[in-house]
Chain A
Amino acid sequence: NAGVTQTPKFRILKIGQSMTLQCTQDMNHNYMYWYRQDPGMGLKLIYYSVGAGITDKGEVPNGYNVSRSTTEDFPLRLELAAPSQTSVYFCASSRRTSGGPGSEQFFGPGTRLTVL
């Protein structure tokens, strides 16, 4: 049971380039999330998904896109990278939401992205 895995671990992009951050979970969780964390700051929700085919925006969705074609995978797409997108990106998943046992989120190891 690998939990939540993310690739790549590190990436340097030039301004205007695009890339996809991969996220996979093997816990059969319905709910998946993408966060970004800037240095010394908290986690900000970018997008989340409540199941295959269903996604919704979080607090900071501009400049990003997501898709959820399977329960396991939730890739995050960056289009036209900008220096403001330099951050650490975490993917997370949970069995349920709205409180109660099972709503705790489990995190992947993160992707450290630098845009120059």
Chain B
Amino acid sequence: QKEVEQNSGPLSVPEGAIASLNCTYSDRGSQSFFWYRQYSGKSPELIMSIYSNGDKEDGRFTAQLNKASQYVSLLIRDSQPSDSATYLCAPVGNQFYFGTGTSLTVIP
């Protein structure tokens, strides 16, 4: 079983819609969860971190964590073309794992 599972996509949403990105992980020891955004040809950039069950909101971004289900998601409200990128999920426990990422395209 892969440590981190993400739907590779591509996921396409119209401008202004909500984009929902999902991630499941296998390491029950994971305590921190990070979402990174990676534009084509660029390095990963941290956009959200979440450490406890529930929701965490930051601007248009909301991260949701359910440790019992080993599931973390990222919602992007009012999606913009500039949100088009690959989003990497990274749960952190004893090791730092990255998912392979979900490619998001926001259509104007």
Contact = CB atoms under 8 A, between A and B. Distances in A.
B94 interface: yes
Interface stretch (B12-20, B41-49, B75-83): B41-49
B51 interface: yes
Contacts of A43: 44, 88, 98
Nearest to B45: A107
A100 interface: yes
Interface residues of B, number: 21
B43 A109 contact: yes
A26 interface: no
A99 B44 CA distance: 18
B34 A99 contact: no
A53 interface: no
Contact of B100 (A42, A45, A94): A42
A103 interface: yes
Interface string B73-108: 000000000000000101011101011110000000
Contacts of B45: 107
Nearest to A108: B43
A97 interface: yes
B29 to A, nearest CB: 8
A67 to B, nearest CB: 21
A98 B93 contact: yes
B42 A109 contact: yes
Interface of A: 33, 41-43, 45, 90, 94, 97-101, 103-110
Given A100-B51, A106-B46, 18 more contacts: A42-B101, A90-B44, A98-B93, A99-B30, A99-B32, A99-B51, A99-B92, A100-B32, A101-B49, A103-B32, A104-B32, A104-B34, A104-B46, A105-B46, A108-B43, A109-B42, A109-B43, A110-B43
